[in-house]
């Protein structure tokens, strides 16, 4: 069965965005970019909630016009060509090889995980990740702690039920960030 892997950047104080919604603080060095590529290679489907989808779909289709960062230049064509799923009750359709899914979250994710293929990669977000974690549907957590204190903003998990995890790894990335990997017990 396929795994659902959650990859997220967080500040030291546990936020995924700053008080004004900013996400300009997560640094992608070579080691972190390589880890991102490893996760992408393991997956054949990228998963998003509506808000993250809006952010991703406004950036990656034209990333080469906006950025000259090596990570962005390498990842943009991968993003455009990889099938994507957006969980949403309001979005009806999306471009870039994207399927929009609504309905019962547990039922839909269980069905997706039972399909043949590689893993599913949930990238960022808080609401969908919390809902999935609450239902025990996330199999692995890849949390990158960035060396910044934001002092407010959206929390990685903004509430929900207790989820006990097993630490499977720690790694310093690019001499600044720390990758923590967990599996559900």
Is residue 134 situated within a structural domain? Answer: yes
Contact 49, 86 (CB under 8 A): yes
In this structure, what are the phi and psi dihedrals at residue 88, rounded to the nearest 5 degrees?
A: -160, 145
Is residue 86 situated within a structural domain? Answer: yes
Is residue 177 situated within a structural domain? Answer: no
Predicted pLDDT of residue 185: 87
The Cα 79–Cα 57 span in angstroms is 9
pTM of the full structure? 0.95
Is residue 179 situated within a structural domain? Answer: no
Which domain, by its residues, includes 150?
Answer: 4-17+27-161
Predicted pLDDT of residue 175: 96
Which of 148, 146, 147, 139 shows the shortest CA–CA distance to 168? 139
The Cα 171–Cα 42 span in angstroms is 19
CATH number at residue 86: 3.40.430.10
Is residue 70 situated within a structural domain? Answer: yes
Is residue 141 situated within a structural domain? Answer: yes
Is residue 34 situated within a structural domain? Answer: yes
Domain count, the chain: 1
Predicted pLDDT of residue 125: 85
Is residue 75 situated within a structural domain? Answer: yes
Mean pLDDT (10-residue bins), the chain, 185 residues: 96 95 93 96 96 94 95 95 95 93 95 97 92 95 97 89 93 97 94
Distance between start and end Cα atoms, the chain: 17
Cβ neighbours of residue 103 closer than 8 Å, sequence gap 6 or more: none
């Amino acid at each position: 069965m396929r795994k659902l892997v959650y990859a997220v950047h967080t500040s030291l104080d546990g936020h995924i965005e700053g008080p004004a919604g900013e996400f300009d603080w997560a640094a992608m060095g070579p080691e972190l970019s390589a880890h991102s590529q490893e996760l992408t290679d393991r997956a054949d489907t990228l998963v998003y909630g509506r808000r993250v989808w809006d952010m991703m779909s406004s950036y990656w289709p034209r990333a080469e016009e906006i950025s000259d960062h090596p990570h962005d230049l390498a990842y943009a064509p991968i993003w455009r060509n990889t099938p994507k799923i957006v969980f949403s009750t309001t979005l009806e359709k999306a471009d870039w090889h994207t399927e929009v899914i609504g309905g019962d979250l547990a039922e839909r994710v269980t069905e997706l995980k039972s399909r043949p293929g590689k893993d599913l990669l949930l990238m960022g977000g808080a609401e969908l990740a919390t809902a999935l974690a609450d239902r025990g549907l996330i199999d692995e957590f890849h949390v990158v702690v960035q060396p910044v204190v934001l002092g407010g903003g959206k929390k990685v998990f903004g509430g929900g039920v207790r989820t006990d995890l097993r630490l499977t790894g720690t790694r310093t990335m690019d001499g600044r960030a720390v990758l923590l990997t967990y599996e559900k017990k």
